[in-house]
Amino acid sequence: MVMKSKEGAMTMLSSLRAIKELKSGNTLILREHTWLKYLSLTKEKNVNLEQVESLEQMAKNPVLDYVERTLHVLDGLSLPDDQKEWVEEVLMWSETAKCGLPHQRKEWIDKGFQLAIHNIGSAQIYAAEMEKRSEEERNREREELLFVLIQTHGLSGQYIRGEVRYSSMEPLIRIAKPEMFPLLYALNQCIVAGVSTEVWDSVREEMEEVNRWICNGDMARKQTLPERLRRLRSQAALRGEDFNAAYDEWVLANPEAESLLDRFFQRMDMWYVEAALTDFTFEECMKIFLLIEQKKRYSSLEQLSFEPMMKELYYDHKGRKTVNIYKKRIIESYLAEYTIREILNGKLPGNEHVSLKAAPLHGQEEMAGVGFSFSRAGEKLIEFCQEAEKSPLYDRAIVLLYDLFNFRKDAYDRLNNEQTYLSDMNSSQDFKKKISDYAVGKTMIDIGPGGGVMLDLLTRHHTGATVIGIDIAVNVVEELKRKKQRENAPWDVMQGDALKLEDYIGKEGADTIVFSSILHEMFSYIPYEGKKFNHKVIAQTLRSALKALKPKGRIIIRDGIMTEPLDQKRIIRFKDPHGLAFFKRYVGDFKGRAITYSSAGEDAVLLNVNDAMEFLYTYTWGEEAYPHEVQEQFGYFTPSSYQEFIHRILGDQAEILVFEHYLQEGYKEHLDQKIALTDEKGYPVRLPDSTCFVVVEKK
């Protein structure tokens, strides 16, 4: 109810006053407002996680908070008092099916209320409460209209998002009239702006159009399959997905799948789709839809909820809501087991540790909830990986996870560190400019392109050149594809193996091949001939690169370097009281080689210079990178041995044009605060060179 003061100014909505009273501690207010009792007395947290930044810091009662926001939006609108009162009552009741204490929810379910479809369930709750009133208190015509408004609330926005069919709004279309437009438009503004004013600004024009269709009694509107999918992939498009290309490629390869999914979408409303599927590729989403369609048990359903998948896909990592990359990788592997054509032919992925599930929500058959179930062993291992994220056990846990699900394709997928890793790659531009200066020719290949900075530099400074990034990690390739689409980048990217480079770009297919901080990772992670930390992997990579190079083409390497003479000793004296413990932990965890040391006094150790440097690289990066850095050996040749190795492997087919080495910027500044480095006699010495820059030209 809206009241005017004597001056004619609008006062606070009665619903907002009730919420304010409750938050001030007056629980007696719940006796007067049943809708508020249901919203506030609940253990449920049924909320779309798209707008949530932290699960742990999520509001105690996010639904009530959302309703309050919608009412504040209404409070600020210029709307006739009677229409404002109608909208207020719709907003008060429209989320009640998401709340209620367990006994109350059981009572509703026993009565057949469709709580899983919360707009319908809320309308049923509203109607049941009206039935408790005496005839003198009731206005049945008003109640019937409010019932339909609650029953269909939010569907206009869901239609715009592609989640529901236009025909689902038929109950509202049948009773709507042109004069209802201001009310309906205001209601939808409250519903959407209560989520995000930015989202409302982006849909307000289309919302006006849809609401006018409804108020004019237009029953004939319908979205085609590509249009609906485009809307469902709008967030993916903002991240860089080329929907048109993805859809056209998919239809070309699977024409029969298009007609099958068209029929599927014509009969199905879907909820929480974007929240659950945005991080998956277009083809993976199509496979999920087809797998659901194959479950003929649910062929009569018209409602599908991805809420279970949305909830299981996210967890808090470092205080922020994050995609559970362990589960995501497992789901991706599961979906990769069969092609779309095989799925159409009735083959379903078979993995004892993961499967797609589509089961009724709340024990009712009106809506199926979609998600993925993991075996008990799989769930425990996923939990273990999450717990191990900040410990040396992390990579061991990851190996167990990969072995259990048998899905590891790229030996150095950095999982939760991948975004930080790509960001680090993007931030190290200075030395990459030097690489670009030495690049030649019309076809340039960047091996392990990370976040794409090298690709950008090469295309910027070599206009007209064909620039291609090649990475073995699927997630890196997919992210770069999205970046390419977002920024309309001229370069290309493909998944490929640097050990067989000529298979991807052809013999003598490239003018420049860049290895920027990638060879040491290949050396550390690839078990070549059954052995990691094997110089043969470097040899095979260089041979493959030479085959792929045109005459006068160049291999450019920027990577770690060891120092010489090899037998030098250094003393590390720790300024940080925890430094020595960190060092001892590192010695036990480092996988590159055995490190021996002796005590050189309190908080000091004596060891080989290259062992000291390997440790100091990790010590510089700290705990965040520790689980990965202990798996990697950054320096794998001294300057002289590296040059000799190149001559021996490439022979007289190649010439070293440039061979430089230097201390990478930043190490000294970071380490000065943590350690003092001296020779065996205690005299201060400089940090050895960490990095080499090599240019090899094919004769």
Among 1-10, 113-122, 193-202, 559-568, which stretch is predicted with the lowest mean pLDDT? Answer: 1-10
- Residue 148 in this model has a pLDDT that exceeds 80: yes
Confidence label for 414 from pLDDT (cuts 50, 70 and 90): very low
pLDDT for residue 316: 81
pLDDT of residue 322: 84
Rounded CA gap, 661 and 328, in Å?
40
pLDDT in tens, 331-350: 888 888 888 988 888 877 77
The pLDDT confidence band at residue 560, using thresholds 50, 70 and 90, is: very high
pLDDT at 420: 45
- In 254-307, beta strands by DSSP E: 269-271, 303-305
Q: Exposure pattern of 280-304 as b/e (b: 16+ CB <10 Å)?
A: bbbbbbbbbbbbbbbbeebeebebb
- Which H or E element spans position 386? helix 376-387
Q: CA–CA separation, 366 vs 364, rounded Å?
A: 6
CA distance 254 to 385: 37
Q: Is the pLDDT of residue 219 over 80?
A: yes
* 32: helix, strand or coil: coil
Segment 50-82, tens digit of pLDDT: 877 877 777 889 999 999 999 999 999 999 989
Output the six-digit token pair for 529: 């001939």
Contact of 521 with 448, CB cutoff 8 Å: yes
Q: Over 80: is that where the pLDDT of 487 sits?
A: yes
| pLDDT-derived band at 329, boundaries 50, 70, 90 | confident
The predicted-structure confidence for 517-543, as pLDDT tens digits, reads as follows 999 999 998 888 989 999 999 999 999
Token pair, residue 43, equals 């253990």
The two three-digit tokens of residue 141, written as one number: 């015509």
- The average pLDDT across 547-571 equals 96
In the numeric block, which tokens belong to residue 424?
Answer: 């680090």
CA dist 126 → 34, 89, 146 (Å): 10, 10, 9
What confidence score (pLDDT) does residue 411 get? 36
Structure tokens at 343: 């799925």
Condensed to tens digits (0 to 9), the pLDDT of residues 284-323 reads 999 999 998 887 655 677 889 999 999 999 888 777 888 8
pLDDT score for 430 = 59
> What's the confidence (pLDDT) of residue 421?
42
**Quick one: DSSP state of residue 569?**
E
Contact call for residues 75 and 13 (beta carbons, < 8 A): yes
Task: Let me know: does 232 contact 268? Beta carbons within 8 Å.
Answer: no
| pLDDT, position 388 | 73
pLDDT of residue 44: 84
Query: Is residue 236 predicted with pLDDT exceeding 70?
Result: yes
- Give the residue-averaged pLDDT of 360-381: 80
> 359: which strand partners?
369
Q: Is 55 exposed, middle or buried (0-12, 13-18, 19+ CB in 10 A)?
A: middle
Contact, 43 vs 102, CB < 8 A? yes
**Which tokens is 80 given?**
């006739």
How far, in Å, CA of 6 to CA of 413, rounded? 68
Cα 548 versus chain centre, distance:
35
Q: What is the pTM of this model?
A: 0.75
**pLDDT for res 191:** 97
What DSSP designation does 99 have? -
Nearest to 465 by CA among 496, 498, 443, 437: 443
CA dist., res. 612 & res. 606, Å (int): 9
Q: Which residues pair with 470 in a beta bridge?
A: 447, 494
Average pLDDT on 557-563 reads 96
Query: Which tokens sit at 364?
Result: 């009712």
Q: Is the peptide bond before 565 cis (omega within 30 degrees of 0)?
A: yes
Q: For 340-485, where are the E strands, in sequence order?
A: 354-360, 368-374, 443-447, 466-471
Tokens coding 221: 């509107």
Question: Cα(500)–Cα(522) distance, rounded to whole angstroms?
Answer: 13
Closest CA to 187 of 85, 103, 281: 85
Per-residue pLDDT of 591-607, as tens digits, reads 899 999 999 999 999 99
* CA triple 236-238-243, angle to 5 deg: 55
Residue 651 in this model has a pLDDT that exceeds 80: yes
Q: How far, in Å, CA of 249 to CA of 258, rounded?
A: 12
Nearest to 95 by CA among 128, 72, 62: 62
* Gap between the Cα atoms of 574 and 267, Å rounded: 68
> What is the model's pLDDT at position 396?
66
In Å, how far are 314, 338, 347, 586, 593 from 238, measured between CA atoms?
A: 20, 28, 33, 42, 45
User: How many Å apart are CA 699 and CA 682, to the nearest integer?
Assistant: 48
| More confident position, 174 or 626 | 174
Supply the angle between the helices 243-253 and 255-266 in degrees, to the nearest 10. 110
Q: Per-residue pLDDT for 222 more than 60?
A: yes
- Going by their DSSP bridges, the two strands 466-471 and 320-323 should be labelled as unpaired
Q: Give the β-pairing of 510-516 and 675-678.
A: unpaired
On whether the CB atoms of residues 461 and 469 are closer than 8 A, the answer is no
Q: How far apart are CA 16 and CA 92, in angstroms?
A: 10
Q: Which of 233-237, 243-247, 398-402, 510-514 has the weakest average pLDDT?
A: 398-402
**CB under 8 Å to 36, separation ≥6 — which residues?**
15, 18, 19, 22, 29, 30, 92
Arithmetic mean of pLDDT over the chain: 88
Q: Which residue has the tokens 């060092």?
A: 583
How far is it, in rounded angstroms, from Cα 343 to Cα 350? 12
Q: What pLDDT shows up at residue 5?
A: 33
The pLDDT of residue 614 is above 70: yes
**Which pLDDT does position 599 carry in this prediction?**
96
Which residues, other chains included, contact 528 with Cβ-Cβ below 8 Å and sequence gap of 6+? 499, 534, 536, 537, 540
Per-residue pLDDT at 609: 97
Q: Tell which wins on pLDDT, 450 or 149.
A: 149
Q: What is the pLDDT of residue 392?
A: 62
Query: How, if at all, do strands 569-574 and 604-608 pair?
Result: antiparallel
Residue 278, amino acid: T
Separation CA 187–CA 167 (nearest Å): 20
Tokens of 341: 């054509």
Q: What is the mean pLDDT of residues 134-146?
A: 91
Residue 368: per-residue pLDDT: 86
Phi-psi region of 651 (alpha: psi -120 to 50; beta: other; left: phi over 0): left
pLDDT confidence bin for 364, thresholds 50/70/90: low
pLDDT computed for residue 399 by the predictor: 64
Residue 539 and residue 523: Cα distance in Å, rounded? 10
pLDDT at 149 over 90: yes
User: What is the pLDDT, as a whole number, of residue 297?
Assistant: 55
Looking at the chain, the whole-number percentage of residues with pLDDT higher than 90 is 65
User: Which of 1-5, 291-295, 694-698 is the most confident on average?
Assistant: 694-698
Supply the pLDDT for residue 366.
Answer: 74
- pLDDT exceeds cutoff 90 at 500: yes
pLDDT at residue 90 above 90? yes
Whether the pLDDT of residue 585 is over 60: the answer is yes
Give yes or no for a contact between 681 and 571, defined as CB atoms under 8 angstroms apart.
no
Structure confidence at residue 395 as a pLDDT band (50, 70, 90): low
Q: Which of 500-514, 564-578, 622-636 has the lowest mean pLDDT?
A: 622-636
User: Which residue in this structure is represented by tokens 């996923």?
Assistant: 382
Alpha carbons 628 and 376: distance in angstroms, whole number: 27
Q: Residue 670 and residue 673: Cα distance in Å, rounded?
A: 6
User: Do 578 and 615 contact (CB within 8 A), yes or no?
Assistant: no
Distance of alpha carbon 390 from alpha carbon 613, whole angstroms: 23
Interacting residues of 199 by C-beta distance below 8 A, sequence separation 6+: 192, 193
pLDDT in tens, 415-464: 444 444 434 434 444 567 889 999 999 999 999 998 898 999 999 999 99
pLDDT for position 6: 34
Alpha-carbon gap, residue 346 to 514, rounded angstroms: 45
